[in-house]
């Protein structure tokens, strides 16, 4: 979601990539809630972090709520002199066998969109001003 919002708002001005410790399938509800705001991520493929790309980045943003993941990614980025920050946004996919709820995905989507816009404002980055709206 963050990659999709950042690409949308940067309008091609920035090179943006997302990756994780392990590539995972994109949850169907993630695709659905992004379609609600006019962004199609159905063809997006999850990627594993590439160390060369990581070390050549200007900025690394870690999203999640796992302490080990948060501290490792941010600390590693900082050790390479890369601006790094963490967005404490919970994964909407349940850790147990309970049913995923679309409202949780919408809340995460909206929180990520706000973080992306705040990041653009913090660094005075040009971005497409019109905010996406739910369909």
Tell me, yes or no, whether 67 lies in a domain.
yes
Helix runs in 1-135, H state only = 2-10, 28-36, 51-55, 67-79, 102-122
Average pLDDT over residues 97-119: 95
**Please, are residues 74 and 61 in contact by the beta-carbon 8 Å criterion?**
no
Tell me, yes or no, whether 131 lies in a domain.
no
Q: What's the rounded Cα separation, in Å, for the pair 23 and 14?
A: 23
C-alpha dist (Å) from residue 110 to 49, 51, 114: 25, 29, 6
Average pLDDT over residues 14-40: 92
CB-neighbour burial class of residue 124 (10 A; exposed 0-12, middle 13-18, buried 19+) = exposed
Number of domains in the chain: 1
pLDDT tens by residue, 74-88 = 778 888 889 988 899
Tell me, yes or no, whether 94 lies in a domain.
yes
**Please, are residues 28 and 44 in contact by the beta-carbon 8 Å criterion?**
no
Tell me, yes or no, whether 127 lies in a domain.
no
Does pLDDT of 70 surpass 60?
Answer: no
Tell me, yes or no, whether 43 lies in a domain.
yes
Q: Which two tokens stand for residue 53?
A: 């790309």
Q: Which residue carries 């001005």 as its tokens?
A: 13
Quick one: what percent of the chain has pLDDT higher than 70?
A: 92
Range of the domain at 43: 2-122
pLDDT tens by residue, 33-64 = 999 999 999 999 989 888 888 888 999 898 88
Average pLDDT over residues 14-30: 89
């Amino acid at each position: 979601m963050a990659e999709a919002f950042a690409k949308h708002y940067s309008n091609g001005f920035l090179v943006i990539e997302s990756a994780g410790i392990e590539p995972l399938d994109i949850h169907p509800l993630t695709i659905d809630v992004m379609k609600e705001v006019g962004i199609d991520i159905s063809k997006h493929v999850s990627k594993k972090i590439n160390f060369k790309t990581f070390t050549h980045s200007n900025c690394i943003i870690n999203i999640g709520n796992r302490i080990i993941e948060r501290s490792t990614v941010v600390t590693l980025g900082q050790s390479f002199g890369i601006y790094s920050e963490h967005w404490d946004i919970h994964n909407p996919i349940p850790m147990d066998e309970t049913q995923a709820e679309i409202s949780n995905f919408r809340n995460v989507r909206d929180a990520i969109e706000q973080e992306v816009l705040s990041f653009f404002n913090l660094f005075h980055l040009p971005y497409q001003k019109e905010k996406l709206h739910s369909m």
